[in-house]
C-alpha cells in the first residue's frame, strides 16, 4: 500500500544517524569528532532515484556532501539501501554520504528538508504522464517548483533530464516561467561534474544511451529573490 508509511511532521524529527551513521549523531547524543568535521545536513536530493545509479556515482565526487535518493516504490528503495550497505562494506569509510528513503516526493519534501537546505535537486527521467488529464501528476509543476525553491539554497541547482521530447519542453518551459529560477549557462554546465553525469549515471540514462536515444537536459539556478514578472 503506497499510502501508509511514516512521515515526519518536520525535518528535525528525522533520525539522520540511521541513514548516515558516520556523519550524524543520534538524537540527544553528542556528536563524535569525526561527525563534527562534516556538514550533517542533506544537501543533494535525487527525486525518483530508481535504482540509485546517480547518487552512487556522485558519492565519491562530493565526499563531504550528504545525499539522499527518494523513491516511492518500496522494493526499489529497499534495493538501493541494500546496494549502499554492500558498497559501505566493500569500501570501508566510503559511501557514508549517500542513502535512500522510500517516500512520495510530490507530497512530503518539506517534511524532510528545511528552508534553503538543498544545494542540488535532481529529477532524472521522471515518469512522463503523457495524457493531458495526467499532466498534473508530473513532478515538475508550477506549484511544486515553488516548494522546491523553498527547500533549495539560493544559488542551488535544479537538474532535469528526459528522453521524452515533449516532457523536456514542458520541464524547461515551467522552469523558465517560474520567478525563482534562472537557466544555468552552458559554460557553467560544462564545468559541473554532476551535470555531466545526468545522461550517463542512472539506470534509465544507461538504457536510453544503449538505445542511442536523444536526451533533453534543463538545469536551473534557484534565484536569491523572485524575478519581477
Ligand atoms: N531517476 C531514475 C533513473 O534515471 O534511472 C529512475 C527513473 S524512473 C522512469 C522514475 C522513478 O520515479 C521510478 O522509480 C518511480 O517509482 C519514481 N517516482 C515516481 N513518482 C514518485 C514520487 N512521487 N516520489 C518518489 N519517487 C517517485
Determine, yes or no, domain membership for 40.
yes
Which of 6, 46, 74, 127 is the catalytic position? 127
**Separation of 94 CA from ligand 1 center, angstroms?**
25
Establish whether this prediction's ipTM goes over 0.85.
yes
Average pLDDT estimate for 44-64:
98
What would the pLDDT profile of 129-152 be if each residue is shown by its tens digit?
999 999 999 999 999 999 999 999
120 - beta bridge partners?
Answer: 44, 157
Determine, yes or no, domain membership for 70.
yes
Is it the case that residue 98 has pLDDT exceeding 80?
yes
Nearest CA to ligand 1 atom 11: 48
The residue range of the domain holding 179 is 33-222
- Rounded CA gap, 46 and 125, in Å? 11
Confidence class for position 1, pLDDT limits 50, 70, 90: very low
Which of 46, 43, 47 minimizes the C-alpha distance to 97? 43
68 - beta bridge partners?
Answer: 45, 99
Nearest CA to ligand 1 atom 15: 48
Is it the case that residue 114 has pLDDT exceeding 60?
yes
Which residue, chain included where needed, has cell 550517463?
A: 200
Average pLDDT estimate for 52-73:
98
Determine, yes or no, domain membership for 17.
no
Neighbours of 129 (CB within 10 A): 16
Is it the case that residue 3 has pLDDT exceeding 90?
no
Confidence class for position 4, pLDDT limits 50, 70, 90: low
CB 134 within 8 Å of CB 190: no
What is the overall mean pLDDT for the chain? 94
The answer, yes or no, to whether any atom of ligand 1 lies below 6 A from the CB of 100, is no
| CATH number for the domain that contains residue 205 | 3.40.50.150
| Residues 219, 173, 199, 120, CA torsion sign | positive
Q: Is 15 an annotated catalytic residue? A: no
Q: Is 162 helix (H, G, I), strand (E, B) or coil?
A: strand
Determine, yes or no, domain membership for 228.
no
- Residue 183 falls in which region: left (phi positive, over 0), alpha (psi -120 to 50) or beta: beta
The answer, yes or no, to whether any atom of ligand 1 lies below 6 A from the CB of 144, is no
CB 124 within 8 Å of CB 198: yes
CB 70 within 8 Å of CB 108: no
- Rounded CA gap, 71 and 218, in Å? 21
CB 111 within 8 Å of CB 7: yes
Report the domain count for the chain.
1
Is it the case that residue 2 has pLDDT exceeding 70?
no
Determine, yes or no, domain membership for 46.
yes
Determine, yes or no, domain membership for 213.
yes
Strands 152-162 and 98-102: unpaired
* Percent residues over pLDDT 70 in the chain: 97
Determine, yes or no, domain membership for 114.
yes
Higher pLDDT, 2 or 190: 190
Nearest CA to ligand 1 atom 17: 48
Amino acid at each position: 500500500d503506497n499510502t501508509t508509511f511514516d512521515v515526519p511532521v518536520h525535518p528535525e524529527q528525522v533520525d539522520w544517524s540511521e541513514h548516515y551513521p558516520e556523519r550524524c549523531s543520534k538524537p540527544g547524543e553528542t556528536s563524535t569528532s569525526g561527525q563534527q568535521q562534516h556538514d550533517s545536513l542533506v544537501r543533494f536530493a535525487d527525486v525518483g532515484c530508481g535504482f540509485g545509479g546517480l547518487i552512487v556515482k556522485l558519492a565519491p565526487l562530493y565526499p563531504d556532501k550528504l545525499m539522499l535518493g527518494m523513491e516511492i516504490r518500496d522494493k526499489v528503495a529497499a534495493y538501493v539501501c541494500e546496494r549502499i550497505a554492500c558498497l559501505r562494506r566493500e569500501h570501508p569509510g566510503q559511501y557514508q554520504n549517500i542513502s535512500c528513503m522510500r517516500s512520495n516526493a510530490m507530497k512530503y519534501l518539506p517534511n524532510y528538508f528545511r528552508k534553503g537546505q538543498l544545494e542540488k535537486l535532481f529529477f532524472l527521467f521522471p515518469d512522463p504522464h503523457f495524457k493531458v488529464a495526467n499532466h498534473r501528476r508530473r513532478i515538475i509543476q508550477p506549484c511544486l517548483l515553488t516548494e522546491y525553491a523553498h527547500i533549495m539554497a539560493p544559488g542551488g541547482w535544479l537538474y532535469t533530464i528526459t528522453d521524452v521530447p515533449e516532457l523536456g519542453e514542458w520541464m524547461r518551459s515551467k522552469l523558465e516561467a517560474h520567478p525563482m529560477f534562472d537557466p544555468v549557462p552552458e559554460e557553467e554546465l560544462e564545468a559541473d561534474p554532476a551535470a555531466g553525469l545526468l545522461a550517463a549515471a542512472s539506470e534509465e540514462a544507461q538504457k536510453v544511451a544503449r538505445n542511442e536515444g536523444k536526451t533533453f537536459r534543463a538545469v536551473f539556478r534557484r534565484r536569491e529573490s523572485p524575478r519581477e514578472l
